[in-house]
Structure 1
């Protein structure tokens, strides 16, 4: 043992080598590719090149441990799933802080079992049948065991290019199936055993969250739950867009700042009470575990606490570890217990920021002025996040560093202390004046945030980074930090190069025509080479059905928030040059305002008469107030700049119905595209009479494949090769109809359906012809 301690001390300040090798091992095993393979072999060779037997031994030991951990994770993924598409009965065990209620929907995360041997973690969904049933669930604060019946299904994978992959997200959390509960036969609450620490902490967390709701007013309770217990309710999700736009969402996510405050306060109070340093170490260790449990063991809190414990142990036991060593050891431990840790945005942000803090601190410490030093620190940390932004978020808030600089001291020195004191003191005495004052402050704060978000932010939409661009950006970032630490003037040149890489979209020769999967609706995106023009035909949307007040979700999430908008941002779109609305149905224009809020629309085109629809007229009024130019048009118009869009219908003013759909024709890189909205058979026949020589290679099949469209004569006349049907999975209209599918099959037309294939897209460059159709999902 003494010999091992001696060897371990020899690699102090060199723990980065085992860390790199374990990271390479995890990525190569869990997501094998040529790139991860090259990186893994590079890390192996780099470790071997050190020539230090201890470094090599520890590195390969870490690689072996992570290989076993990854193998166990992959083995879980390959275990037999519960049967799908049939009703299954069993038991679901749920901790009290692992269920969420929003409107009439209940989401549960727990362990489902049919027998003691067959037990797996699942996400389950249930719809309340009455307000009383919902209220009874809101009062539960003990572990729950439910006897139920329902149907399992495999989570949906990514359906749009660069979009959210729900299946991958759940897999990274050890969940491989979702459960739709049809009936709860029996619900039992179980008192946790005194030795079941995790269950006890979950129960106390749920009680604390409910206490905040019952004791404080709405906004104060929201901040208490978010900033102290890490519980983000559906009410908080309403504010996430504003906070993300300001670049201060991290202040509301439990992180090192919160851990530093609570650990520091705990140490200060105990030292003031006369506790010795020796006893304090063990008490702080216990407090860290309890606090992690009360925050739901979030990634950032566990990382910060683990790093804090290692640093404390380093001082206590004189290990002589560097700050980088402590960071590396906390990452290795995290990876052992959760191999997918660095695959999640939370893990990447938490470990990425804490890593770069070690680099940035020495650079800014030379600045004498305290406030300039604090701002430069915030700015440099914001810059270090650029590679991750290019992989996950696609937009960089330049003003984030300024808002963080201004607000971080307020959160650290005012908001967190006041909220903590208010919560603790409320157990002894509830002071109505204090509760009212806090609520007034947070209401004012929210109003200020909304104003700042609207008028004082600057966002650079980078688009998604390719693997090569990501590596170039990372290399430029490390060179920038290195030259700044050396006070070299080359830092200015490297900074300019980094800015160039962030604007790579203007140098991309690739153009795209994409049929976005928006469920039961239409949305088609056209981007021309070198980012000359961004055009959207229809926006998608959904029809809302009236519900009782208790059953309505707190935040109504538009389809565009998880389909159109993320895809457009991944393509580097900051403004839409043109939006064309085929007609006034909500599944074609319902998300118009939502998109305009995130991605401003410069010009809007729609068929004459569509404005007669009251809902669409209201949209127009709001868009005009925001500065969008609106143009009602008819057949014969041509909308041209980088490509020509010819309007073939309607020929007369209508009322915005299916028969009045705008028909758009364009020819790009040798391929002819025809977009017909929800045009019905009568309109199709009229169009081929008016344009008897009309031909198209790719047709957006009318009305989502309904039998009311796709007249056989029309399909024969235009000479199709590809037919694109945009429809929702298991939609209530049963689109596409068999008649339409048969018509297309008879003409030997290649069909693509968004419900089966996800997004369908075509690509071209000024130097190449249009590619064949590409899809995101393989049809079953």
Structure 2
């Protein structure tokens, strides 16, 4: 059968399997359109036998993926939990005072269910014990089970969906762990082997060198500085840390050289290489790039055995088919998407680029441009941003990694296996300094905003049209041609993608879900202005000992606010309004200004006497500060005004000194209240008596100290938004405030229960959307 199949048959089947998986697991009209277009194109080939077999394959795939989609469910329940938990040792991570791993809850009668477990270490001795753990154990544990959270701001990473695709439906917050038994079996053996390799490499003298060896050869990048990894991702070089065909071919090339030098027979090398690759892939738990690379090599060996010309493109197609059928949810992984998309791009275009230009540098730049164009939609869909800097630096970074870094680190790895690497302490030190310099250069490049596109969430139809235009351009390059119409079509769509944030005809006011704090985004239609009202964070109430400090720490700005702004297409802020000097209203200000251009900082005179806070804000914005007081009016756009209701006197930034804004945006009214309370809140209501109010940002997170019944009765808001953290220690929002809001007919929206709340408006209409949708039965 293999001899009768043509290359385009195999590629078409791979595309068919991929589109069928997309249609069933992520249904959309665009995946259906792609599948229909593929079948129509194959029908025009006038190969009835192949087309019939393709239709049968399509039906089988759709049925299989539908069966997979409705497969798993949980036997566990949320709440207190005590029982046996078999730790997956390969997933164990110790970071400061936190232990994180996946494990299988033993349910009895041979049944188990996997959870994601977290355990807080009580002492440094316990930390050392877990770091040195080299046996797969079953533990007696006690703790709480809870469901993972979905994304709390729209278009961002959905942790619940991510775990669901792995068959994990609960998180375990463990209070106590006690070893119960040693696990047996091949899974435990493999996990112990993986951990043994990591612990063996832990004896490398230089931490920086060890981190890069683990990342480049063992697919474990957790030891590289998180800021450095973020910078590699920003400049588009993160793919260099994903095990791929390059790494496999590099290893095979040098293994072949050593094998032949030792007198080995060439006829036996393929068999030995396959055994080596299978062991290597198993030790690494089969990352997607490794599956593709080994699949290609295996297919080439099979082709040579059958006397058929080996084809990397066919091997890649078979690897995709096997991987998607074996693990359908792989299609959601950015690593899977980029690994196969870039590999196919380079394989398809290689001959055409060689015909197009004889100059090696131009060939590399053309390949880099093609890879950038292919990567762009995937990165924009996942990250809402793309750096064209990758087009420039990819050539130099790839050359550095392939010609210097990987060979040198591989040599050190071999020497370490022989027990010799730590005799080269000086060399390791120099290499560590060079790696540190590379990180600093990458971080400096990542700060260059000029070539970064922030587009926000793109509609599926635009991505689909871009994909069609891109295929047309790549087809021209494959033929060694440059066609003006195809190029202009692609350039036009690139222009639309870049301008997309400016083409939105509606404005929005979004209460971002950031926990117990305030952060509201005001966006005017056609990107006329972007403003934040408050930029809160959550203070740490505990001092940590050195052993408790975690390598990977997240902030509200880095985890919630900045990604949410990117997802909304915000490239710069015209201004940030700070209501008063409580940390839950300003704590993220400095980090936002460091990562995003901000024109002005708008401050109420009510915090003018808080000199300690003001000293930290010097020089954060491009155009300095604007002080606001009662009676001021800001004209933000053609139909957008901010009237300052309070404060009317200098203060220390207390709750009563809060900035209160009455906003009129394209015929819709908004009242932003900060944490105002007491007499200040009553004076506010008196000034606004008789006004029609569409949207109230409820004061002080719904605290019982604010929003008295008479104030709410006076304001009569249609919508009341409460920015509040889940299960917060203050008991916000107050049941009394909720009852009073209901009594005046306001529809209440809470960020703790609903995630980000988005009020979408145009001059004649408005809708309000919640990020977390109602669960079935609510």
Is TM > 0.5 for Structure 1 vs Structure 2? yes
Measured at CA, do residues 510 and 257 of structure 1 come closer, stay the same or move farther in structure 2, by a change above 3 Å?
farther
Partner of 2:594: 597
Please tell me whether residue 385 in structure 1 is matched to residue 351 in structure 2. Answer: no
Measured at CA, do residues 495 and 18 of structure 1 come closer, stay the same or move farther in structure 2, by a change above 3 Å?
closer
2:635 to 640, 643, 646: 640
Please tell me whether residue 219 in structure 1 is matched to residue 208 in structure 2. Answer: yes
Between the aligned partners of 1:544 and 1:357, the Cα distance in structure 2 is 48
Does the 8 Å contact 1:102/1:234 carry over to 2?
Answer: no
Give the deviation of 1:81 after TM superposition. Answer: 2.7
Measured at CA, do residues 773 and 335 of structure 1 come closer, stay the same or move farther in structure 2, by a change above 3 Å?
closer
Measured at CA, do residues 778 and 330 of structure 1 come closer, stay the same or move farther in structure 2, by a change above 3 Å?
same
Between the aligned partners of 1:615 and 1:235, the Cα distance in structure 2 is 35
Which secondary structure state, in structure 2, belongs to the residue aligned with residue 113 of structure 1? strand
Which secondary structure state, in structure 1, belongs to the residue aligned with residue 108 of structure 2? coil
- Report Cα offsets for 1:299-350 as digits up to 9, x if no partner: 2222222223223332343344644322211110001110011112121111
Please tell me whether residue 486 in structure 1 is matched to residue 481 in structure 2. Answer: yes
- Report Cα offsets for 1:240-267 as digits up to 9, x if no partner: 2221222212222333332232232222
Between the aligned partners of 1:35 and 1:499, the Cα distance in structure 2 is 19
- Report Cα offsets for 1:137-156 as digits up to 9, x if no partner: 00012222112122222211
1:373 to 349, 360, 363: 363
Partner of 2:271: 282
2:54 to 55, 59, 63: 59
1:17 to 8, 12, 18: 12
Partner of 1:106: 99
2:85 to 73, 86, 92: 92
Which secondary structure state, in structure 1, belongs to the residue aligned with residue 602 of structure 2? strand
Measured at CA, do residues 258 and 45 of structure 1 come closer, stay the same or move farther in structure 2, by a change above 3 Å?
same
Does the 8 Å contact 1:172/1:344 carry over to 2?
Answer: no
Between the aligned partners of 1:516 and 1:355, the Cα distance in structure 2 is 39
Please tell me whether residue 586 in structure 1 is matched to residue 620 in structure 2. Answer: no
Task: Give ranges in structure 1 of 5+ residues lacking alignment.
Answer: none
Give the deviation of 1:714 after TM superposition. Answer: 1.0
Partner of 1:342: 331
Please tell me whether residue 81 in structure 1 is matched to residue 75 in structure 2. Answer: yes
Between the aligned partners of 2:62 and 2:235, the Cα distance in structure 1 is 40
Measured at CA, do residues 284 and 54 of structure 1 come closer, stay the same or move farther in structure 2, by a change above 3 Å?
farther
2:532 to 526, 530, 536: 536
Partner of 1:730: 727
Measured at CA, do residues 640 and 213 of structure 1 come closer, stay the same or move farther in structure 2, by a change above 3 Å?
farther
Between the aligned partners of 2:393 and 2:449, the Cα distance in structure 1 is 10
Does the 8 Å contact 1:360/1:381 carry over to 2?
Answer: no
Which secondary structure state, in structure 2, belongs to the residue aligned with residue 348 of structure 1? helix
- Report Cα offsets for 1:25-69 as digits up to 9, x if no partner: 212222334443444444445445544344235434544554465
Which secondary structure state, in structure 1, belongs to the residue aligned with residue 505 of structure 2? coil
Please tell me whether residue 303 in structure 1 is matched to residue 319 in structure 2. Answer: no
Please tell me whether residue 31 in structure 1 is matched to residue 26 in structure 2. Answer: yes
Task: Give ranges in structure 2 of 5+ residues lacking alignment.
Answer: none
1:154 to 116, 122, 147: 147
Does the 8 Å contact 2:87/2:101 carry over to 1?
Answer: yes
The total of aligned residue pairs comes to 766
Partner of 1:312: 301
Does the 8 Å contact 1:636/1:646 carry over to 2?
Answer: yes
Partner of 1:662: 659
1:522 to 505, 508, 518: 518
1:242 to 231, 255, 259: 231
Across the aligned residues of Structure 1 and Structure 2, the Cα RMSD in angstroms comes to 2.3
Measured at CA, do residues 380 and 38 of structure 1 come closer, stay the same or move farther in structure 2, by a change above 3 Å?
closer
Give the deviation of 1:720 after TM superposition. Answer: 0.9
Please tell me whether residue 230 in structure 1 is matched to residue 226 in structure 2. Answer: no
- Report Cα offsets for 1:525-581 as digits up to 9, x if no partner: 111111121111112311112222222222321122232212211222111111111
Measured at CA, do residues 650 and 177 of structure 1 come closer, stay the same or move farther in structure 2, by a change above 3 Å?
same
Partner of 2:419: 428
Which secondary structure state, in structure 1, belongs to the residue aligned with residue 92 of structure 2? strand
Partner of 1:272: 261
TM-score by length of 2: 0.93
Between the aligned partners of 1:532 and 1:203, the Cα distance in structure 2 is 57
Between the aligned partners of 2:198 and 2:271, the Cα distance in structure 1 is 28
Please tell me whether residue 411 in structure 1 is matched to residue 405 in structure 2. Answer: no
Partner of 1:565: 562
Measured at CA, do residues 213 and 694 of structure 1 come closer, stay the same or move farther in structure 2, by a change above 3 Å?
farther
Give the deviation of 1:22 after TM superposition. Answer: 1.5
- Report Cα offsets for 1:64-88 as digits up to 9, x if no partner: 55446535533442x3430212x22
Please tell me whether residue 476 in structure 1 is matched to residue 469 in structure 2. Answer: yes
1:745 to 739, 742, 749: 742
Does the 8 Å contact 2:212/2:221 carry over to 1?
Answer: no
Between the aligned partners of 2:52 and 2:255, the Cα distance in structure 1 is 39
Please tell me whether residue 621 in structure 1 is matched to residue 618 in structure 2. Answer: yes
Does the 8 Å contact 1:18/1:58 carry over to 2?
Answer: no
Between the aligned partners of 2:46 and 2:742, the Cα distance in structure 1 is 66
Which secondary structure state, in structure 1, belongs to the residue aligned with residue 176 of structure 2? strand
Partner of 1:353: 342
Does the 8 Å contact 2:143/2:175 carry over to 1?
Answer: yes
Which secondary structure state, in structure 2, belongs to the residue aligned with residue 97 of structure 1? helix
Measured at CA, do residues 182 and 607 of structure 1 come closer, stay the same or move farther in structure 2, by a change above 3 Å?
same
Between the aligned partners of 1:573 and 1:617, the Cα distance in structure 2 is 26
Between the aligned partners of 2:7 and 2:700, the Cα distance in structure 1 is 67
Does the 8 Å contact 1:26/1:70 carry over to 2?
Answer: yes
Between the aligned partners of 1:465 and 1:755, the Cα distance in structure 2 is 27
Does the 8 Å contact 1:573/1:599 carry over to 2?
Answer: no
Measured at CA, do residues 372 and 32 of structure 1 come closer, stay the same or move farther in structure 2, by a change above 3 Å?
closer
Measured at CA, do residues 565 and 39 of structure 1 come closer, stay the same or move farther in structure 2, by a change above 3 Å?
same
Does the 8 Å contact 1:516/1:525 carry over to 2?
Answer: yes
Between the aligned partners of 2:29 and 2:454, the Cα distance in structure 1 is 29
Does the 8 Å contact 2:580/2:606 carry over to 1?
Answer: no
Does the 8 Å contact 2:208/2:224 carry over to 1?
Answer: no
2:111 to 98, 115, 118: 118
Measured at CA, do residues 121 and 665 of structure 1 come closer, stay the same or move farther in structure 2, by a change above 3 Å?
same
Does the 8 Å contact 1:219/1:443 carry over to 2?
Answer: yes
- Report Cα offsets for 1:459-499 as digits up to 9, x if no partner: 11122210111111111212222344422233542343132
